[in-house]
Amino acid sequence: MQPRSADDTGLQVDLDRLPDHLGYLVRRLQRWIFKDFIQTLAPFDLRPAQYSVMTVIHANPGRSQMAVALALGIERARLVHLIDGLQARNYVERVPSANDRRSHALHLTRHGGIAFDRIRTLAAEHERRVAERVGPEQHKALLRLLAGFADG
């Protein structure tokens, strides 16, 4: 048996002004969502940022790293790192650009395309769980309210 400890974890903690900070609430929701995403996508060991990159490359084959980084609002160095990981798993390939030797055109490999079909199904399953967790009406309202942040 564990000795009974005189701790205070059962007592109410006052969060004071934290719930008035959108960043605090958004961060807590984001942590919950990402955890569920990672669990759902565990068969592919895929994180949300990798999924975003694969989605954009799938929908826009042949675009440059810079274009994808801009579209996702992430730094180029971070995208290069993400692409390195996806390339090591043979999901993505960099094809040297004919126009600009410094630039590479991004494509899903055949293997990446096959994986992406299944990844997409799991991501949709994850999103259904998110909608359940926040409530279907709230989910719609949140997508609408946050839409402006999808493009910068």
Contact residues for a second copy (CB under 8 A)? 5-9, 11, 13-34, 37, 48, 52, 55-56, 58-60, 63-64, 66-68, 70-71, 73, 97, 99-100, 102-103, 120, 123, 127, 130-131, 134, 138-139, 141-143, 145-151
Residues 42/107, Cβ–Cβ less than 8 Å: no
Q: How far is the CB of 137 from a second copy (least distance, A)?
A: 10
Q: How far is the CB of 89 from a second copy (least distance, A)?
A: 20
Instruction: Look up residue 6 and give its two tokens.
Output: 């005189």
Q: How far is the CB of 115 from a second copy (least distance, A)?
A: 16
Q: State which residue, 75 or 84, has the beta carbon closest to a second copy.
A: 75
Q: State which residue, 88 or 151, has the beta carbon closest to a second copy.
A: 151
Q: State which residue, 30 or 90, has the beta carbon closest to a second copy.
A: 30
**DSSP collapsed to 3 states, 48-79:** HHHHHHHHHHHHCCCCEHHHHHHHHCCCHHHH
What Rg do the C-alpha atoms of the chain give, in angstroms?
20
Contacts from 73-79 at CB under 8 Å and sequence distance 24+? 73/152, 74/49, 78/49, 79/53
Q: State which residue, 23 or 88, has the beta carbon closest to a second copy.
A: 23
Q: State which residue, 77 or 88, has the beta carbon closest to a second copy.
A: 77
Judged by DSSP in three states, 110 sits in helix
Q: How far is the CB of 80 from a second copy (least distance, A)?
A: 15
Give the helix, strand, coil percentages of the chain, each rounded to 5.
65, 5, 30
